[in-house]
Structure 1
Amino acid sequence: MLTLSRVSRRYGETIALDGVDFVVPENTYMSLLGASGAGKTTLLRLIAGFEEPDQGEISINGERIDGQPTHLRDIGFVFQNFALFPHLTVAQNVAFGLRYRTNAPLTNETEIKDRTEEALELVGLTGFGHRAVSAISGGQRQRVALARTLICEPRIVLLDEPLGALDANLRSRMCDELKAIRERLGVSFLHVTGSETEALTMGDKVAVLANGRIMQTDAPDTLFSHPGNADAARHLNAWNIFDASLCRTSALDGMIAVRFDQMDVSAAGTGPADRPTLAAKYLTGEFNGPTALSFFRADDGTLFQIVDHLSQPRLPDLVEGQRYDLHFPPQALRQFHGAA
């Protein structure tokens, strides 16, 4: 189990991480979701030992690792750009850690060859060992980087936006393969991403990092359906977040979040009396295959998005520039107090 306790990191006046408490349980695929600049990569670098925290402790299974050299932490790191050696073959890249690690490097060529072939088989690259890394695809390079990490049997694997350089189809396939590989190995993966879809798809648990702090950690379905605060909801890109004062005839206060797919639209002045209702102007629509996304602007400037599933459409015909009533069932809202 990886544990961060009260971990902070500053760069001059900038606070990258602010007293982070975070746990990655044993045998878990943990997704860490955050926007650019949220501190995701800084957190990984502190765990790996590329940097040290200004405050706090980092431990694995109760053993403190902060302050230890990187090569003694027994942690695997898969970089976003793969960081492969271009002058080495696939097999030589994978075997590099075995040959040159500080503790007990291998010198038996037969054992190195066997371990390398096992690692390549694990990531689906049997028969690719002789190839140059420049002669294989981006997805294959991703697997080589993973095999190079896994061959040294780390206690935890850190993945820094590992799918960011791949196209959409390959990204989807690699999601399935990464999860399957992790399950076979039984080690924990900590997968950092800025994509809410990727985080929810990959993680057994998902943590949301914002403003240098962990805002919420939960199972993907719980996080998506029940964000605990406005920051968590905002990172899921599925919730309209707005001030309750926009709603007519409502006793609500503070900030409200309502999912894109749980808002309905009626002609201006015709919103149901038993539902919280607000006025907004229709801006434009966006067709996304099985769904359509409609954009509205409230009087205070808040942007609203409403998803309509085209197999069961529920929105009326909308006219750009025209005002409408947006409404939702009371049980659909999440209410937050404090800062937005």
Structure 2
Amino acid sequence: MSIAIRNISKHFGAFHALDDVSIDIPSGELVALLGPSGCGKTTLLRIIAGLEFADSGRILLEGDDASGRHVRERNVGFVFQHYALFRHMTVFENVAFGLRVKPRKYRPNENEIRKRVSRLLELVQLGWLADRYPSQLSGGQRQRIALARALAVEPKVLLLDEPFGALDAKVRKELRRWLRQLHDEIHVTSVFVTHDQEEALEVSDSIVVMNKGRVEQIGSPDQVYDHPATPFVASFLGSVNLFHGRVEDGHLHVGEHALAVGAGHAATEQAVGFVRPHEFDLLPANAPGTGLPGKILRIIAIGPLAQVELARPNGELLEVAILRDTLSVLGLREGDEVSLRPRNIRVFQNNERLAA
């Protein structure tokens, strides 16, 4: 089922939670609503579900206006962060609950319910836990049961609100991979809310980046990461180093140093360059060529990578990510003077991209 969000606005008193939001979600896609706390992503999810109603705008489900429909009439499944399982019911009974409370004329017979629940428990790889109670399950298992319960009523749309937020990092990563595989099997249109950039980049077909009740950018994970449309998107998705300066003759002038940004950038007196930690070449200070001078303050080994913290002569701190093997070959250590050479710079002026 496709979802068309048209000019949705929502206030809570003086707080503007959503401001004229419009998004198209194609049928069968897994879409992430990504942004900081308070940006409006959960409010938008609840409006899609029918748990909240917008002050203005429309929600179209498969082209039909569902804005005034009750949640029961929208055929959506909802998965919350804190599972919301019934403690007094077994895993099987939890998954069957939505089917058993359907109006009689829509309710499957008991034999069909048992078949459907058993099939779902196998789908989420937890059939062997059917007779257990929620208190006997791990956090990851509870969340998979909550997802099976949402799928039991065969929703046209699946909505997930920070589904893995209450879990530890290792379990979150496992469940992200599992959710992606599950979605590839069932292809139900899914929208999930997260503030975790890695989660959104890893799981979704497309990402809606939100900030202060508005949409900053919509695109594939590669598009929003590699081609951010605004400074907010560039800084929110992953770590960045900022360079303030002016643009002239294809260079960003930062103090007495000029960094090449390529042709097509209009001259401007005030601009900001964004460089991700892995987009630097890090060389000894006496290496041929020009670059930004810096001093290594700290080297942190993280698996095959080294996270290098540096200070520019003016005291500004920078972060560079480099392979540990490369760092070893260069022979660089804490306290060494180095030359930093950005391979890619994204330049913005007054919150607008100067060039693609």
- What TM-score comes out, normalization by structure 1 length? 0.88
Report the counterpart of residue 235 of structure 1 in structure 2. 236
Q: Structure 1 residues 312 and 268, CA, compared in 2 at 3 Å: closer, same or farther?
A: closer
Q: Structure 1 residues 260 and 316, CA, compared in 2 at 3 Å: closer, same or farther?
A: farther
CA distance in 1, matches of 2:330, 2:19: 43
CA distance in 2, matches of 1:280, 1:213: 38
Report the counterpart of residue 272 of structure 1 in structure 2. 289
Equivalent in 255, 263, 272 of residue 272 of structure 2:
255
Per-residue CA deviation, residues 142-183 of structure 1 (Å, 9 max, x unaligned), is 111011000111111111111222233322222222122212
Q: Helix, strand or coil for the counterpart of 1:177?
A: helix
Q: Structure 1 residues 107 and 163, CA, compared in 2 at 3 Å: closer, same or farther?
A: same
1:290 aligns with 2:304: yes
Per-residue CA deviation, residues 123-145 of structure 1 (Å, 9 max, x unaligned), is 11113221111111111111110
Kept after mapping to 1: 8 A contact 2:284/2:332 = no
- Cα RMSD of the aligned pairs, angstroms, is 2.5
Kept after mapping to 2: 8 A contact 1:293/1:307 = yes
Report the counterpart of residue 225 of structure 1 in structure 2. 226
Unaligned runs of 5+ in 2: 247-253, 260-266
Kept after mapping to 1: 8 A contact 2:121/2:127 = yes
Report the counterpart of residue 8 of structure 2 in structure 1. 7
User: Greater CA deviation, 294-303 or 176-185?
Assistant: 294-303
Equivalent in 303, 306, 324 of residue 320 of structure 2:
306
How far apart are residue 324 of structure 1 and its match?
5.2
Kept after mapping to 2: 8 A contact 1:71/1:102 = no
Report the count of equivalent residues. 334
Kept after mapping to 2: 8 A contact 1:265/1:326 = yes
Kept after mapping to 2: 8 A contact 1:206/1:217 = yes
How far apart are residue 76 of structure 1 and its match?
0.9
Report the counterpart of residue 38 of structure 1 in structure 2. 39
How far apart are residue 300 of structure 1 and its match?
7.2
CA distance in 2, matches of 1:84, 1:309: 45
Report the counterpart of residue 101 of structure 2 in structure 1. 100
Kept after mapping to 1: 8 A contact 2:32/2:207 = yes
Q: Structure 1 residues 328 and 162, CA, compared in 2 at 3 Å: closer, same or farther?
A: same
Report the counterpart of residue 62 of structure 1 in structure 2. 63
Q: Structure 1 residues 334 and 148, CA, compared in 2 at 3 Å: closer, same or farther?
A: same
CA distance in 2, matches of 1:290, 1:227: 27
Q: What one-letter code is carried by the residue in structure 1 that aligns with 2:111?
A: T
- What TM-score comes out, normalization by structure 2 length? 0.85
Report the counterpart of residue 174 of structure 2 in structure 1. 173
Report the counterpart of residue 75 of structure 2 in structure 1. 74
Percent of aligned positions that are identical: 36
Kept after mapping to 1: 8 A contact 2:297/2:310 = yes
Kept after mapping to 2: 8 A contact 1:271/1:326 = no
How far apart are residue 227 of structure 1 and its match?
1.5
CA distance in 1, matches of 2:149, 2:139: 15
Per-residue CA deviation, residues 61-89 of structure 1 (Å, 9 max, x unaligned), is 11122221111111111100011111111
Equivalent in 311, 317, 327 of residue 341 of structure 2:
327
Q: Helix, strand or coil for the counterpart of 1:312?
A: helix
Report the counterpart of residue 264 of structure 2 in structure 1. none
CA distance in 2, matches of 1:194, 1:302: 27
Report the counterpart of residue 208 of structure 1 in structure 2. 209
Q: Structure 1 residues 107 and 262, CA, compared in 2 at 3 Å: closer, same or farther?
A: closer
Q: Helix, strand or coil for the counterpart of 1:222?
A: helix
How far apart are residue 318 of structure 1 and its match?
4.6
Kept after mapping to 2: 8 A contact 1:279/1:325 = yes
Kept after mapping to 2: 8 A contact 1:203/1:220 = yes
Q: What one-letter code is carried by the residue in structure 2 that aligns with 1:159?
A: L
Kept after mapping to 2: 8 A contact 1:293/1:305 = yes
Q: What one-letter code is carried by the residue in structure 2 that aligns with 1:255?
A: V
CA distance in 2, matches of 1:265, 1:311: 13
